[in-house]
Each structure stands twice: as C-alpha cells, then as structure tokens.
Amino acid sequence: MDPNQKPKTTAADFFLHLGVVAVLYTFVGFLINLLFTVIDVAYPPVAENYFVSPSISFPVAALIVLFPVFVLLSYLTLKTYAVDQTKKQLGVRKWLAFLTLFVTGVIVAGDLITIIYYFLDGRDMTVSFLLKALSLLVIATIIFVYYAQDLREKVSSSQRKIWMLMALILTIGAIASGFSVIGSPKSQRLIRYDQQKAGDLQNIQWQIINFWQAKQKLPQNLEELKDPISGQVIPTDTQFGKSYEYTAIGVLSFKLCANFNKESVKNAVGNYPSALTQPVQYMMVPQKGVSGMNDSWQHKMGYTCFDRTIDPEIYPPNRNTSVFTPKY
C-alpha cells in the first residue's frame, strides 16, 4: 500500500470507533452518578424536604456490563491497528478523539460550575464539595491525558494495560464505596420492602378516608373496605404474607401499623397529599417541618404505628349522594 495514500474508513471502522467512544461516555456518566450518589448519602446536601434515593443498583449494573464491553471494543480496535498500521490515521479516529477531549472539557467545566454553585449556595458541605470536585477531576484527568497521548502515538501496549488497570481499580473502588455506604443488594431489597409498605399504608389511609366520607363512620376492620364492584383491593405485606394492622381508636381517629426492616431516611417527607391533621407517630423520628398537605411516614426499624385523625373540614362527608332505585 502506498504510505502516502490515506486509508479509507469502512463501515466496520466507523462503528467500532464510535462504539468505543459511546460506551466510554456512558460508562463515565454512570461512574460519576454513582460517586455523587454515594457522596450525597454520606454527606447529605442541605435542602428543604431533600431526599436522596439510596439505590445504586442501576449505575452499578451499568458499570459491571459497560466496563467489559469497553475493554472488548478497545481490544478489537487495537487489533485492527496491529493488522494495518495505517488505520491509526483514520479520520474517524482523530475526530472522535478530539471530540472526546472537547466533551470532557465541557462536562468538567459544567459540573464544576454546578458543584461550586451548590457549595456557595450552602447546599453542599465542604467535605461533599471537595469529594465531588476531586472525583470529577480525577476521572477527567485520566480521560484527557490518555487521549492526548494516544493522539501523539505515545501510548505503548504496556502503558495501555496500566491505564486499563487504573480504570478497573477506580470502578471497583466506586462500587465498593457504594455498597459500604448504602448497603449490599440484600440491604437494598429490605429497603424496597419498606418503601412498598409505606406506599401500601398510604393507599389504605386513602381508602379509609373515602369510606368515612361515604358512610360518616370508620370501618371496624380492613375487610369492610373491600368493594367487589369497584375492584378495590386491600394491600397486604408481601414480605411476611399477612395483612397490615388497623385499629379504629375514635370517631375520626385510627391507627395503621407495619413491621419495617430499617430506619427511614431522616428529615425526608413524602410528597403525598395529606388526609389528616397533626398525625402522632409511635416509634418514629420526630416530625420536622411537616404541615399543611404533607404526611410524615418516617419510621424506625421494627414495629411502627401511625396515628391519624381525619379533619372533616378538609374532607367533608359526601352528603349530596343520590339514592339509586332500580326499575323493574
């Protein structure tokens, strides 16, 4: 082949180089997301009704899949260079490499602006700010330095292995820190059960309110809430396979109880319309800033009860219901 002749980009070359860059962008995005989530859980930002979802399942799953894919595509790309050295001069390779450098710079600048803004606005603690900035700079530096050297043909085969090893160590470290701060998959499953229980209790609460509005009395038990015509079903605790506990303790007051696996996130308020006024909680974190149209469903580990009282002024009885008389 004429050394002065420019190599032609085939469809395989284009999609192979594009695949490497696309997987790299996606991988780095999930890596940053995982690190920032871990930092936010360890050092929660200061914000009203702020709640950090403790789940890291999706970013961890993405990293576990994407890293081997990135290694495989990189290996196939390097293999094409070994077969034909002119492939290193492909325009698509240089364009995507420069694009990676450009995108890295833009992302770093944008994320640093956001991190500094949250710090100056008082939302992030100093430790959280420093950890986020450090994580971002480390990841960006690795990408920028590698591609800058690769464009100048200064990355040997042994150096590529070192870069890959650094990326692997960073990935494993991020995943390990996530599990150490947020918990193992088993712990995450218990949290999911607790979230489901809180949602079930909210569902039952609304059914009780609707029952009271229709009949001006509280049900004696949850079985009274069943309505075969509307298809209304009473949720049950799927973890233990039993019904939730309900007790009517007055004309307008009732109590709902469940057994939770873990303590809920402190200072987290559910965004659920309130049907009640001044809820009293048993074995719960003291309620803060909950008023108007927000119920607190915070709980400690173990048996927890929620006392609720219906406000007839907010939820008046349905007195204008017409009686249906069947015609024969």
Residue 238's Cβ-count burial label (10 Å; 0-12, 13-18, 19+) is exposed
Inter-residue contact 268 to 245 (CB < 8 Å): no
- Tell me which DSSP letter residue 211 carries: H
The whole-angstrom separation of Cα 297 and Cα 202 is 9
Question: Residues in the chain, how many?
Answer: 328
Tokens of 218: 């509280």
CA gap 55, 183 in Å, rounded: 9
Q: What is the DSSP letter of 228?
A: T
From the list 244, 248, 245, the residue with the least C-alpha distance to 218 is: 248
What are the extents of the domains in the chain?
11-183, 187-309
* Four-point Cα dihedral 163, 165, 167, 170, nearest 10: -140
Quote the pLDDT of residue 1: 47
What tokens does 79 get? 């293999």
Q: How far is CA 85 from CA 64, 90, 308, in A?
A: 32, 10, 74
Q: Look at residue 58 and give its three-state secondary structure.
A: helix
SS3 of residue 235 by DSSP? coil
Tell me the backbone φ, ψ of residue 218, rounded to 5 degrees: -85, 150
**Residue ranges in the chain modelled with pLDDT below 50:** 1, 48-52, 267-294, 322-328
Is 245 in a helix, a strand, or coil?
strand
Tokens 């204008």 -> residue: 320
pLDDT for 84 = 79
The bridge status of strand 242-243 relative to strand 236-237 is antiparallel
Burial of 220 (0-12, 13-18, 19+ CB in 10 A): exposed
Residue type, 260: F
Question: What's the pLDDT at 280?
Answer: 33
- Alpha carbon of 267 to those of 87, 184, 286: distances in Å? 57, 23, 9
Residue 255: φ, ψ to 5°: -135, 135
Distances, alpha carbon 318 to alpha carbons 254, 265, 322, in Å: 20, 37, 10
Write the DSSP assignment of 140-188 as a string of letters: HHHHHHHHHHHHTT---HHHHHHHHHHHHHHHHHHHHHHHHHH--HHHH
Q: What is the helix (H) or strand (E) element at residue 37, kind and residue range?
A: helix 11-42
- Could you give the CA distance from residue 247 to residue 134 in angstroms, rounded to a whole number? 53
**Contact status, residue 115 vs residue 129, Cβ threshold 8 Å:** yes
Inter-CA distances, 143 with 45, 97, 310, Å:
28, 10, 58
